[in-house]
Structure 1
Amino acid sequence: MLGQLIANGRTSDVHRFGSGGAAKVLRSTTPQHWAQAEASFTAAVRQLGVPAPEVRDVIVIDGRAAVVFEHIDGPSMWQRMLEHPSDVSTLTREMASIQRAIHEAGVPEGLPSLVDRMHLKFSVSDELDAEERATAAALLDRQPAGASLLHGDLHPGNVLLGPDGPVVIDWFDATVGHPVADIARTMLLLQRDATDLRHLPGATPAMISSMHETFTDAVRDRVPADLLRGWCRLRAAGRLAEKTDLDVSGLLALWRGSATDSGADDD
């Protein structure tokens, strides 16, 4: 029943499926209940009017859980950037606008708290020692919690440019929290030497620098600098638990780079 391979990632492979569908098939090493979670989160945000794909079913294929989505006929924003480097700045600003719209869309029921999810990440991170885990947890608790819808992993590879406009995919990391936390995550994913950039295959240093600079400029007017510093550290520490990067030196440097804890008491 599986058709052409569309994309593959660390936790799943995406194939064409049936008539106008796309099946995201989890790897055997991925917790199989993640499929139902992503399906539920995606359906919930779509009901708010957020541009997310329609969820058609959750099934099992060859012993592996899979989510069947509608197939979005169009390239990813990242593919468009690779094909048209002159459009990098324009598309990056569009992504920033999409993220802002997500933050202003409202909050569906059933999404986890970002703070709870981050505490769990810190508790299982073996890249941080006990003192660092405690420091990260304390810094997290000093941040304003916020109450916005967060995508949790927004970058150009997770935006599809469909015939009816952009569609945001990969909602497994969706949570409720502070918008600056989501902005900090995207900034981390667009930063040179922070991650191994496997989520943006083919990226050049010039493209990454341009995206990071443009995105930072686009969000500057709504991001308090002290709050951003704290969340950038926390996001770097949190990503360590995800085991997504072969070289974690950049993440450790970002986490350890500021000797002064940042925090705020106001929402």
Structure 2
Amino acid sequence: MDVGELVAVGRTSEVYAYGNDSVVKVPRPDVPEHWAHDEAQFTRAARTCGVPAPEVVDVIELDGRPAIVFERIDGPSMWERMLAHPADIDQLAVQVAAVHREIHAAGIPSGVPDLIERMCMKIGEARTLGDDAKDEACTIARALPRGAALLHGDLHPGNILLSPNGPVVIDWFDATIGHPIADVVRSSILIRPNADAADLPHLPDAEPGFLEHVHSSYVRQFDELVADTADSLSQWEAVVAVSRISERSDDDAGLLEFWDARNAPRSSSELALVATQFAPSGD
């Protein structure tokens, strides 16, 4: 079957039309070959729990390298919908949070790795972090509450497609089993503007103020979870941030700011400040 037109471009792969009702996700040449098999496994695992993930049709070889064939999901991404309808940001952010909570409540599938162990593996590959800091980060991570929920690991509005049958979550390569606050912290870091106000590759074409609105609208949906993990929030932000450095992010300076604040009181955490600011009064 011939590969068709380019559908999407990501940091580590390109997605092409494939046949009448499928797409094929082709990793870039520098991506380890096992990544395609891992993502296919994690996506299938999520589907076994009833999570709205695309069907994995097959893992094939293209030019001697594995690539994943997924069912084709017709519809814009949540991010595209936000850009097209900025007046609906609050409502759409509520939908993002609802999808996230659905994932966390779905159960624990087999074949998905442990969050802390995978996080420590990434921390070990963080190029701008010294060896002593890497050791400290893994020590902090292993002392945090383990949790037992399915985590997506990369959830943001660009990874939610709005099909005619409802939202579908794509890009499950970073799925793990762990504490939901780690997933919310990760999404918070992905959605908020870069420290230097540069464009976010995964959420393009947005001004910092637009991103700040999306971020606050999303975070305020998790005020109770943030409050419940208040004592460890700065540590969660620190280790989640430095584990992202291994992903060749363009915002190492901003990520390291979280690390520098690892021992700060909960009141200085931006995530906590936003959640507290918008939390319902209870009246």
TM range (shorter): over 0.9
Contact 1:140 1:234 in 2 (8 A): yes
For the residues of structure 2 that align with 1:117 and 1:67, how far apart are their CA atoms?
22
Contact 2:234 2:261 in 1 (8 A): no
The answer to whether residue 237 in structure 2 is matched with residue 236 in structure 1 is no
- Find 2:260's aligned residue among 229, 253, 256: 256
For the residues of structure 2 that align with 1:248 and 1:222, how far apart are their CA atoms?
27
What secondary structure does 1:241 align onto?
helix
For the residues of structure 1 that align with 2:222 and 2:247, how far apart are their CA atoms?
26
What secondary structure does 1:31 align onto?
coil
Matching of residues 1-267 of structure 1 within 5 Å: 1-194=2-195, 197-223=200-226, 224-245=229-250, 247-260=251-264
Contact 1:74 1:161 in 2 (8 A): yes
Shift of 1:64: 2.9
Gaps (5+ residues) in structure 2? Answer: 267-283
For the residues of structure 2 that align with 1:120 and 1:73, how far apart are their CA atoms?
35
Shift of 1:112: 0.5
Shift of 1:260: 4.2
Contact 2:235 2:263 in 1 (8 A): no
Counterpart residue number, 2:281: none
Q: Deviations over 1:132-161 (max 9, x none)?
A: 112211211110001110000000000000
What secondary structure does 1:6 align onto?
strand
Which residue identity does 1:211 align to in structure 2? V
Which residue identity does 2:203 align to in structure 1? L
Q: Deviations over 1:177-200 (max 9, x none)?
A: 000000100000011225861110
Which residue identity does 2:243 align to in structure 1? G
Counterpart residue number, 1:265: none
Identity score, percent: 48
What secondary structure does 1:67 align onto?
strand
Which residue identity does 2:252 align to in structure 1? V
Which residue identity does 1:221 align to in structure 2? E
For the residues of structure 2 that align with 1:23 and 1:181, how far apart are their CA atoms?
30
Contact 1:27 1:64 in 2 (8 A): no
Contact 1:181 1:228 in 2 (8 A): no
For the residues of structure 1 that align with 2:7 and 2:233, how far apart are their CA atoms?
35
Bigger shift: 194-203 or 180-189?
A: 194-203
Greater fraction helix? 2
Contact 2:7 2:15 in 1 (8 A): yes
Q: Report the TM-score when normalising by structure 2.
A: 0.88
Shift of 1:226: 2.5
For the residues of structure 2 that align with 1:119 and 1:255, how far apart are their CA atoms?
14
Gaps (5+ residues) in structure 1? Answer: 263-267
Taking only aligned residues, the RMSD between alpha carbons, in angstroms, comes to 1.5
